[in-house]
Amino acid sequence: MAKEKAYKVLAEQKGLSNKKAKELIDRGLVFVGDKQVKIARAELSTDTKFRIEYPEEIEIIYEDEDMVAVNKPAQVDSYDIQDAIEGAELLHRLDRDTSGVLLLGRNEAFIKKAVNEFKNRRVKKEYVAWVEGVLCEPMEIDEPIHTVKKGKAFSLIDPVRGKKAHTLVKPEEVQGKKSKVHIEITTGRTHQIRVHLAYVGYPIVGDAQYGSRTQSKRILLHSARITLFDKIFEAPEPKDIVRYK
């Protein structure tokens, strides 16, 4: 059976350039059946049937002369959204796999004030996620996080080099051996929620980087609500968060 690199098979099958096909695989948008194609250069049969799942359109939740709040789809980079909204600058970031509320500023004065709110932990950030295991009691995780940024960022609990990180977790429902949880963070370390939940034995479903063994199209984490300057911005839960299949 003939074999070829995945991105070349995809390019041929879908009439794309090799560069575009590789980019789609790298962005996590290409599937064979229910399995995500993760390695663009993996050797696959030339008759492999691919499916591309393009992200939803970017939905604007709120906007005025100072800012814009969007409901970020999963598998879209925060910087791609910044590039798509003229004259807007990110006030914070969400991981590519994370969906939900993302805030951008539109003028220098507002951006400076807003970034100061984030720095001084006056922004309330609430998330929902599906995690591995049965979680029945609320918990508070207060473990310092250190991030290594060589290549793909990776964070770990490190009492010596780590920076303060604080996460509150409350159970919402249980389905089989998975739990839906509400999360509030007062700090914003890289991969904070993912690292903290993995550390206490409840990795987020689909988060292979931090120990999840469950296959999923994405990491099941959603930024549900952000409160900034007493304004509340909310993003409805997407289908994969509303109910774990």
Cite the active site residues.
95
Quote the CA–CA distance of 36 and 183 in Å, as a whole number: 27
Quote the CA–CA distance of 42 and 230 in Å, as a whole number: 49
Dihedral (Cα; 96, 101, 106, 109), 10-degree rounding: -110
Beta bridge partners of 223: 100, 127
The DSSP code sequence of 46-61 is TTPPPEE-PPPPPEEE
Give me Rg for the CA atoms of the chain.
19
Amino acid at 241: I
Quote the CA–CA distance of 49 and 82 in Å, as a whole number: 33
